[in-house]
Structure 1
C-alpha cells in the first residue's frame, strides 16, 4: 500500500496523469432461498436464486442450485440467507421406528421379512433394521419408501475378490 502511494505521488510530481481506481470487489456467487422455507421441504428451482457475496466463501456453501435441488431441508431456511450443503439431505424414505419390508436375494433364493427401522435414511443410504422375528439387527440399503435391500456378507466378499 505504501509503495503504491509513493508511485502515484512520484508520477504526479513529474507531470504524468494519474488515474486511481478502486480494486474490483471480488465476489462469489452463492445459492440463497427466495423465500422462507420450512424444515422438511423438498427444494425446487423456484425456491432458489443466486446472490453475490463480497467475501470469500467458506467450505460447505452451495454455489450451484443443482447441488441442492431435490433435497430436503434439515432446518427452516430464511430468504436471502446463504445455503449450506449440511442444511439439506436426501428425502427420508425410511423413518426411524417405522415398519419396513426387507428383501434379500441370492442365486436361487429370494426372501422378504418385515422389520422396524432403528435409523432413518433416504434413497441409497444404509440403515439399520431390527428383524421382528429374530430381533437381530440387519444393515440394508434403502431402495424405496419403506423398502430396504439386505446384502449377504458372502456376496460382498465374493464381489470384492478379483
Structure 2
C-alpha cells in the first residue's frame, strides 16, 4: 500500500530541529580551567577560587562558580586539589560532569586563609648583565660629577647595585642620568638614577664610593731610551678610566733628571719601570772607590764590571789582585765601600802594643777594602 508523499517543507523543518538538538548536545554547558594555585576569598573554597568558569550564559557561570567545595586550609597550611578529586566533589553536589569540560592545571595548590599567593620569583641577574649595569651607572655618576664640580677632575666611582635595579637596566636598556651627592663629593655618596623616558619622580636611589684621582705624569713627546728627561718632555694630565696599573708619578719634579730605561711614546703614562736614575758608572771604566772606617777615608782605583746609576750597587774589580767586590755608586765614576771599624783587644801584661795591633802581620799602612 502506497502512502502519499508528505510535504517537503515539513520534512526540512524536522531535520533542522534535529540537527540543532544534536549540535546543542555536543557543546559543553561550561568550561572549568583549573588554576595552578589559588587564594580563597573566604572561609569556604569555591569552584570560582580554584578554576576560571566560562559559559555562554553569564548567570549560569556565576551559579557554578559559587559552588562550595570545602573549608579553606588554616593559615600557614595548604591543600593540593587534584582534578579527579574536584570532579568527585562536583558530582557529589549534583553537577553533571558530562555537560562540562575541564582544562588547565592537573592540580591546584590551595593556600591557607590569609596567606598571600606567592609571586613568581624573578630570574637572577647574570654576572655580565650586572657588570654592564654597573658600568652604565658609574659612567652616569662620573658625568654628573664633571658637571657639578669640574670637567678637569678625574673620578673613580664604585657603585653598589641591587639586583632589582640591575634587572631594570638590563630590561629597559634605556639611557640614564644621575643626580645627587654632596660636597666634598668623595667617600660614600647617595645618588639617584633617572631614566630619560620616565618622570623624574621615578628616580631610583643608588649608593656609590667616590674618590678623586690625582693627575699623572705623561710623556709630552717621544723620549728615546737613555735620554735624560727634561721638564719640557713631560706634562700632568688626568688619568683615563681603566688605565694600566703600576706605580705612577704625580709630580714633574719626580721624573725630571731621570733617564728613560726604554723608548717612551708620546702620551704614555710614566711608571717606575720606564725610568731609572742616570747611569754615572759604565762597564769597563776606571772609577775611584773610597772606604770609610772610624773617621779614616782611603781611596783606590778599580774597574767597573757593569753599568750602574746613582745609589745602586756595582761590582768592581781591584787592579792589584783582580779580586771583585761590591760598592755603592755615590757620583760620576765614584763608589764607596763602608768598612766596619776594627776594635782593638785590651793589652795584657807583658805584651807589647805592636802585638796588640796584630804582631806586625799587617803593617799600619796596609788597608783592605
Q: TM-score range by the shorter chain?
A: 0.7 to 0.9
The answer to whether the Cα contact below 8 Å between 1:100 and 1:147 also exists between their aligned partners in 2 is: yes
Structure 2: any 5+ residue segments left out of the alignment? 1-132, 134-162, 170-192, 343-369
For normalisation by structure 2, the TM-score amounts to 0.35
Counterpart of 1:40 (choices 226, 231, 236) is 226
Which residue of structure 2 lines up, in the alignment, with residue 72 of structure 1?
Answer: 259
1:102–1:113 Cα contact (<8 Å) kept? yes
Alpha-carbon offset, residue 64 of structure 1: 3.3
Residue 310 of structure 2 is matched in structure 1 by 123
> CA–CA distance in 1 between the matches of 2:334 and 2:233?
29
CA 1:50 to 1:19, structure 2 compared with 1: closer, same or farther past 3 Å?
farther
Measure the CA separation in 1 of the matches of 2:219 and 2:295: 50
Query: In the alignment, does 2:135 pair up with 1:135?
Result: no
Cα distance in 2 between the residues matched to 1:73 and 1:47: 11
Q: Distance in 1 between matches of 2:270 and 2:245?
A: 11
CA distance in 2 between partners of 1:94 and 1:155 (Å): 27
TM-score by length of 1: 0.74
Q: Residue in 1 aligned with 2:334? A: 147
Q: 1:92 aligns with which of 270, 276, 279?
A: 279
C-alpha deviation, 1:101, in angstroms: 1.1
1:155–1:127 distance in 2 versus 1, CA, 3 Å = farther
CA distance, structure 2, for counterparts of residue 104 and residue 63 of structure 1: 37
Distance, in Å, in 2 between the alignment partners of 1:108 and 1:32 is: 45
Q: What displacement does 1:146 show?
A: 0.7
Choose between structure 1 and 2: higher helix proportion: 2
**Does residue 3 of structure 1 match 2:164?**
yes
Structure whose CA Rg is larger: 2
Q: Report the CA distance shift for 1:102/1:54 in structure 2 as closer, same or farther (over 3 A).
A: same
Deviations 1:120-143 (A, max 9, x none): 222222211100111111211212
SS of structure 2 residue aligned to 1:96: coil
The structural deviation recorded for 1:89 is 0.6
Bigger relative CO (Cα 8 Å, ≥ 6 apart): 1
Cα distance, 1:79 vs structure 2? 0.7
How many residue pairs match? The answer is 148
Q: Secondary structure at the match of 1:66?
A: helix
Match of 2:27 in 1: none
Of 260, 284, 289 in structure 2, the residue corresponding to residue 102 of structure 1 is 289
For 1:136 and 1:46, how far apart are their aligned partners in 2?
45
Deviations 1:103-162 (A, max 9, x none): 22333743222111012222222211100111111211212111111221x249xxxxxx
What RMSD over aligned residues (CA atoms) do the two structures have, in Å?
Answer: 3.1
Structure 1 residue ranges without an equivalent (≥5): 157-162
Given the alignment of the two structures, is residue 83 of structure 1 paired with residue 264 of structure 2, yes or no?
Answer: no
Superposition misfits of 4+ residues, deviation over 4 angstroms: 6-9
CA distance in 2, matches of 1:110, 1:28: 46
Alignment check: 8 A CA contact 2:194 2:200 kept: no
